[in-house]
Structure 1
C-alpha cells in the first residue's frame, strides 16, 4: 500500500512504513486504511499528547497555545465587562429600599393570590430545625437550657441597644394610624417597649432565665415582615373565629391576635396552661399592635413581640405546638407544605 504524501502533513506518515528503519517514525502519527491495532492507537495518543520532534502538546506548539490563550482571555474579559456593565446599570436604576414587585404582584402572593404573613419563633437553635429540647436540671451541655436563654438574650438585645438607628424610632402611641404611614416613608419606625412584655411581673425575663430552669419555658413569637402589608383586624365579636369569641373584648380590634395550642388532640392534652405577655396585656391571648404596620424597610425597624409562657405542660413528652396569627386578611392553611398564617415547633422538657 502506498500513501499519497500530498494529502499528509509533515508529521503524518502512512503504514506499512516505507522506511527500512521503523524507529525513524516513532514521532509520527500512524494512518492506514485498515483498523489500527491497540499498540498503534496508544502510539498515536502519545504522539498527540506530546510530540518531541515538533515540540507540540495536543497538536499545538507554544506559539499556537499562546495565540489561542490570548484569544480566549480577551473574549472572556469582554464578556465579563459586558456583564459588569449591565449589572452596574441594573443596580443604578433599581430602588434598593422599595421592591419592584410588591403587594399582590410580588412573589410572596403567587401561591395565595394575596399577601399572607407567617410567624417566627425564638429560641431557634438552627433555621433547619423546629425542636426546642432541653433538660431543666442542666444549664450547659448538649441539652442544657443555657443555650436557649443566651439566644433569647441576644435577640432581645437588638431592642435595647442605643445606636444611631434608634434616633429614627418614635412612640407610635402618640399618633393616629393615618399619621404614621407618612412618617414611615421618612424612615421613622415604631419603638417597641420591652416593658410591654413585662406587665404584671412577667416570668419571661432574663433574670428568671425565662423559666427554662423551672421547666416552664417562654417562647417568643414574632410576625414575619412583608413590605407594605397592612393588617385588617377584627372589629367585633361576630367577625372573630369561634375559638376566640369567649375571650374577645373591644380592645382587641387594635391588634393582630396570636394564640398557641397543641397541633393535634394528643398534643393539646399535654398542654395544661398557657399565658401570653404582649402589649395587649391579656394573659389569655397575645397581640401585635397594628400601628407597627405597614413595614416600609425602615432602618432600625423592630418587629413587635409576644411571649408565650408554657406555665404547665407535660414533661418528657414531644409536644407539637402551633401558633396562629388572627386578622381578617390572614388566611390559614393546615397543609404541611404551606402552614400559612402560623408557625410550628416541637417542645420537649426533660
Structure 2
C-alpha cells in the first residue's frame, strides 16, 4: 500500500468517528528524518487533490466549502446539536408576555432600550421638521390673504354673480317650504312667531351697548352711506309686521320676510326706467314703477320684488299683498364689502286676506338686469306654500 492510499484511508477513518470514538486517542506513527518529511509532503498534496476532486464532482454541494461539515464538529458541538433539551411550547399569553418584555434579550416590544431611543429620536426630528414646514406654508398662505375680502370675487368665485332670494320664517324640515297653522290656535303659530323673533334679534340694536350705532348711518335714496359706514335697517318701518303685533299671524294675515343673499362686491343693475321693463314683469309692478317715475326718480334705484300665486287658482286665493317698507331692496345697501355692522335689507310681505283652508303656492321674485331667473332651478326666485285654517 503506497503512502497516498494509506493517508486517504487514515483520513476517512478519522472523519467517520462518533463522538465517543473521537475521544479515543490513536497511537501515532513515529517517523523520523527524511521519511517523515516525505510522508507529510505527499500526504498533504494528495489530500489537496482529493479535496479538489471531491468538491468539483458535485456542484450542488458547493456550499459545503463554506459551511462546516457535521463530521468536523467536536463531541460537545455534536451533542448540543442532536441531544440538547428543547424548550416546551408556549401559549399565546406567554408569547404575548415574552413579546412585551423578554428578560433574556432585555427587549421591550421587540426592541432594546437603545433601539427605542434611536427610533424615538428619528421620529421626533422627522415630525418636528414636518411641523415647521407646515407652519411656514400656512404663514405664507395667510400673508397672501386679505382678512376683509375674499381672494376670488364675483365671476371668479364659486358663488358667482347671481344672488339667491330667501324667506323667513323657515319650516322645521329643511327641504320643506310650507307655512301651515291655525289662526285661532296660538300653539300652532307660536313656532312661526318665535322663528321670526329670533331672526330679527340682530336687527334690534341695543342702545345701551358700548359702541352701538357708531358705524350706522341713516341712509336715503338721496343720501348714500359714507365710506366705511353701513345703512340702518329700521324695524319700525315694517308695521304691522312687528313682534309686538305677533307678525299678524293671530289675525290670519301672516307676514313673510324676504332677503337677498350677500355677495361681496355685487352691484345691482336697476330697472330705473319705465320704458324698458321686461314683458314677464307683473302688471302691478310695472304700474308701481311708473308711479315712482312720476313721483321721484331717485326711488327707481331699487331691486324690485314681486309675489304672486303660481297658478290661476293661487292668484285668486292669495288676496291683496302689502310690501314694507318698500317694494324692493333699496340700492344704497349695495355693494356689500364686509363692512362692520352690515345687515342685509329686508322686505316684509304682508298677506292681507289669504283664503283660509286652501293651500296657496306663492312665487316671489327679485328684479334686476343682472339677476337671472329660472323657475325650475329656483334661480332669482323663491317658492313658498301657505295654508291658514
**TM-score of the pair, normalised by structure 2:** 0.65
- Give the Å deviation of 1:197: 2.3
1:98 is aligned to: 149
Residue 340, structure 1, aligned to residue 387, structure 2: no
* Contact preservation (8 Å) 1:267, 1:320: no
Aligned residues: 297
Question: Gaps spanning 5+ residues in structure 2: where?
Answer: 1-65, 69-80, 293-298
Match of 1:88 among 139, 143, 167: 139
1:119 aligns with 2:165: yes
**What are the residue-to-residue correspondences of 1:311-330 with 2, within 5 Å?**
311-315=352-356, 318-330=359-371
CA offsets per residue over residues 212-269 of structure 1, 9 Å max, x none? 2233221110111111111111121432343423442332622111122344x38726
1:279-308 per-position Cα deviation (integer Å, ceiling 9, x unaligned): 32xxxxx21111111111111112111111
When residues 215 and 75 of structure 1 are mapped into structure 2, their CA distance, relative to the original with a 3 A threshold, is farther
State how far apart, in whole Å, the 1-side matches of 2:306 and 2:67 are. 91
2-side partners of 1:287 and 1:167: how far apart? 27
Partners of 1:261 and 1:271 within 8 A in 2: no
Would the aligned equivalents of 1:196 and 1:279 in 2 still touch at CA under 8 Å? yes
Question: 1:190: which partner in 2?
Answer: 231
User: For the residues of structure 1 that align with 2:365 and 2:170, how far apart are their CA atoms?
Assistant: 18
SS in 2 for 1:296: coil
RMSD, aligned α-carbons: 3.4
**Residue 275 (structure 1) aligns with:** 321
CA distance in structure 1 between the aligned counterparts of 2:364 and 2:67, rounded to whole angstroms: 86
Q: Is this contact kept in 2: 1:130–1:344, CA < 8 A?
A: no
Show the counterpart of 1:298.
Answer: 339
More helix by share: 2
Instruction: Tell me the distance in 2 between the aligned counterparts of 1:192 and 1:261.
Output: 25
Cα deviation for residue 176 of structure 1 reads 5.2
Residue 158 of structure 2 corresponds to: 107
Uncovered stretches (5+) of structure 1, i.e. residues with no partner: 7-16, 28-38, 110-114, 281-285
- What residue is the counterpart of 1:151 in the other structure? 195
Residues 61 and 103 of structure 1, relative CA distance in 2, 3 Å threshold? same
- Shift of the alpha carbon at 1:158? 2.1
> Does the 8 Å CA contact 2:181/2:189 hold for their aligned counterparts?
yes
Paired with 1:89 and 1:127, the residues of 2 have a C-alpha distance of: 43
**Greater strand percent: which structure?**
1
CA contact (8 A) 2:248 2:255 kept: yes
Give TM-score scaled by structure 1 length: 0.72
Are residues 232 and 76 of structure 1, via their aligned partners in 2, closer, same or farther at CA, if it must alter by over 3 Å?
Answer: same
Deviations 1:110-134 (A, max 9, x none): xxxxx11111211225583443343
Q: 1:165 to 1:333 in 2, by over 3 A?
A: farther
CA 1:57–1:206 in 2, change beyond 3 Å: closer, same or farther? same
- Structure with greater Cα Rg: 2
Distance 1:138 1:5 in 2: 100
1:45: how far off?
7.9
